C-alpha cells in the first residue's frame, strides 16, 4: 500500500514538473496603448489576448509590464530585471510614442529599442515589435522618420513586426477616446486583430 501511494506521489510530481517545463511567458512592454489607459484593465487588448490564449494556448502566461506614459528609456531601465524575473519566451515591445510626443531625438529612441531587442535575444526570447505613428503636426520629416524607425529595426534584427498597431482605429472617432490618442472599449478588439496575425505564428514557432 505504501509503495502504491509512493508511486502516485512520484507520478503527480513528475506531471507537475512537466507542466512547469512546458509553461511559457509572454512579456508585454508597452505604454498607455497597452496599459488600457482610462479603461478597466480587462477591456484592454492585452487582457483580451490573454482570454483568447487561455483557450488556444493555455500553457502561455502573459505578464503585462506596460506603464502609461512610459518612454523607451523608462522601459529599458526596467527591462533587465523583468527578463530575469519572468524569463519570457516572447516579448512584445510597444514603446516610443511618448518619446516622439515629447520631441526626444529619434536616435535616442532607436538606441533604447535596440538595447531592449538585444537583451531579449540574449535571453533567448523572440521579439514582436509594434510600430506606431504620431500626429502630422509634428512635422512631415519627423513623423516619417519615426514611423520608419520601427521598420528599420525589424529588418535589421529580423523581427516579427506590426507596422501600425492602431490601423483602422486611429482615424475612426467611434473607436477612439476623446483625447484622440487612445482606443476606447470598442477599439481595443480591433487593435488586437491587427496584432494577432503576426503574433500567433511567432507563438507557434516554439511549439
182 is catalytic: yes
Q: What is the pLDDT of residues 100-139, one digit of tens each?
A: 999 999 999 999 999 999 999 999 999 999 999 998 888 8
Q: Which three cell numbers stand for residue 118?
A: 538585444
Does the domain at 25-205 match CATH 3.40.50.1110? Answer given as: yes
Yes or no: say if 132 and 164 are a contact pair by the CB < 8 Å rule: yes
- Per-residue confidence (pLDDT) for residue 137, from 0 to 100: 84
- Per-residue confidence (pLDDT) for residue 129, from 0 to 100: 98
**Which DSSP helix (H) or strand (E) runs through 26?**
strand 24-30
Candidate list 66, 89, 99, 182, residue with the active-site label: 182
Candidate list 32, 47, 66, 89, residue with the active-site label: 32
Each residue's pLDDT expressed in tens, for the chain with a length of 207 residues: 544 555 544 444 444 443 434 479 999 999 999 999 999 999 999 999 999 999 999 999 999 999 999 999 999 999 999 999 999 999 999 999 999 999 999 999 999 999 999 999 999 999 999 999 998 888 899 999 999 999 999 999 999 999 999 999 999 999 999 999 999 999 999 999 999 999 999 999 854
Place of cell 506603464: 67
Task: Determine the Cα–Cα distance for residues 28 and 39; give it in Å rounded to an integer.
Answer: 18
Yes or no: say if 49 and 195 are a contact pair by the CB < 8 Å rule: yes
Candidate list 22, 56, 84, 179, residue with the active-site label: 179
Q: Residue 134: which residues within 8 A CB-CB, separation 6 or more?
A: 97, 100, 101, 142, 143, 146
Q: Residue 140: which residues within 8 A CB-CB, separation 6 or more?
A: none
pTM (predicted TM-score): 0.88
Task: Determine the Cα–Cα distance for residues 133 and 114; give it in Å rounded to an integer.
Answer: 19
- Per-residue confidence (pLDDT) for residue 105, from 0 to 100: 95
What DSSP string describes 81-93? Answer: HHHHHH--SEEEE
CA-based R_g, the chain, Å: 19
CA distances from 207 to 45, 63, 115, 122, 193 (A): 24, 19, 27, 20, 22
Amino acid at each position: 500500500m505504501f509503495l502504491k501511494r509512493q508511486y502516485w506521489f512520484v507520478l503527480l510530481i513528475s506531471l507537475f514538473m512537466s507542466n512547469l517545463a512546458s509553461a511559457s511567458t509572454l512579456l508585454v512592454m508597452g505604454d498607455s496603448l497597452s496599459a488600457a489607459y482610462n479603461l478597466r484593465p480587462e477591456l484592454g487588448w492585452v487582457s483580451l489576448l490573454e482570454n483568447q490564449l487561455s483557450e488556444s494556448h493555455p500553457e502561455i502566461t502573459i505578464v503585462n509590464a506596460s506603464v502609461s506614459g512610459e518612454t523607451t528609456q523608462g522601459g529599458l531601465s526596467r527591462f533587465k530585471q523583468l527578463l530575469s524575473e519572468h524569463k519570457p519566451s516572447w516579448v512584445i515591445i510597444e514603446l516610443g510614442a511618448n518619446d516622439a510626443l515629447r520631441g526626444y531625438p529619434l536616435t535616442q529612441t532607436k538606441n533604447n529599442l535596440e538595447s531592449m531587442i538585444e537583451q531579449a535575444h540574449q535571453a533567448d526570447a523572440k521579439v514582436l515589435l509594434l510600430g506606431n505613428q504620431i500626429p502630422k503636426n509634428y512635422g512631415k520629416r519627423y513623423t516619417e522618420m519615426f514611423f520608419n524607425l520601427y521598420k528599420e529595426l525589424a529588418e535589421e534584427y529580423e523581427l516579427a513586426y506590426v507596422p501600425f498597431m492602431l490601423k483602422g482605429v486611429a482615424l475612426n472617432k467611434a473607436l477612439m477616446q476623446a483625447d484622440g490618442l487612445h482606443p476606447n472599449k470598442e477599439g481595443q478588439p480591433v487593435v488586437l486583430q491587427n496584432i494577432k496575425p503576426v503574433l500567433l505564428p511567432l507563438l507557434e514557432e516554439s511549439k
